[in-house]
Amino acid sequence: MKFVSIIMGSKSDYTVMEECAKTLEKFGVMHEIIVSSAHRSPERTHQYVKNAEAKGAKVFIAAAGMAAHLAGVVASLTTKPVIGVPMKGGVMEGMDALLSTVQMPGGMPVGTVAIGSAGAVNSAYLAMQILALADEELAAKLKEDRILKAKKVETDSMGIEVII
Ligand code: RP5
């Protein structure tokens, strides 16, 4: 059973990462969402990633805030694609999580998306685009979604394109 694995550093990340899950659901993509922290529950994180890969996880999405090492730790445990979502929280409003997530050493990639809500949604799209490389039905759905988005762009009286 192929699926997307979503791992969050805390249950407090769910209000944002729910948008990732909902986006996958909209396209009928199977997923699993769990809380497991790189710092608070390292053993659980290690075991989970190994088990998830064995049972069919094709892409991992890891969301964490502050000193966000979760995506990097997940990347160290699998050669499946890992997408990191920096959570907006703490005194630095997510910049700390962004830099912690994106600044991986060469050869150990984490595809990092935007901080917060846009990143949560884009992590789902990016995961689906990866899956769609070997799934024509999903590829067609993504193309249709893009066409619908393009239809929502109109030109206003000043000649400026607006998204409606
Ligand atoms: C991170 O610390 C989590 O991913 C979360 O974004 C942040 C705060 O966690 P809580 O204190 O709300 O559990 O590890």
Q: Which atom of ligand 1 is nearest to the CA of 63?
A: 4
Dihedral of CA atoms 142, 145, 146, 150 in degrees, nearest 10, equals 170
Q: Quick: pLDDT tens for 32-74.
A: 999 999 999 999 999 999 999 999 999 999 999 999 999 999 9
pTM for the complete prediction?
0.93
Q: Which residue owns the Cα nearest ligand 1 atom 5?
A: 65
pLDDT above 90 for 90: no
Cβ 71 under 6 angstroms from ligand 1: no
Residue 9 CA to ligand 1 center (angstroms) comes to 6
Residue 10 CA to ligand 1 center (angstroms) comes to 5
C-alpha 98/C-alpha 119 separation (Å) is: 11
Cβ 13 under 6 angstroms from ligand 1: yes
> SS3 for 113?
coil
Q: Quick: pLDDT tens for 6-21.
A: 999 999 999 999 999 9
pLDDT band of residue 164 (cuts 50, 70, 90) is low
pLDDT above 70 for 163: no
pLDDT above 80 for 156: no
pLDDT band of residue 157 (cuts 50, 70, 90) is confident
> What DSSP assignment string belongs to 117-138?
HHHHHHHHHHHHHHHHTT-HHH
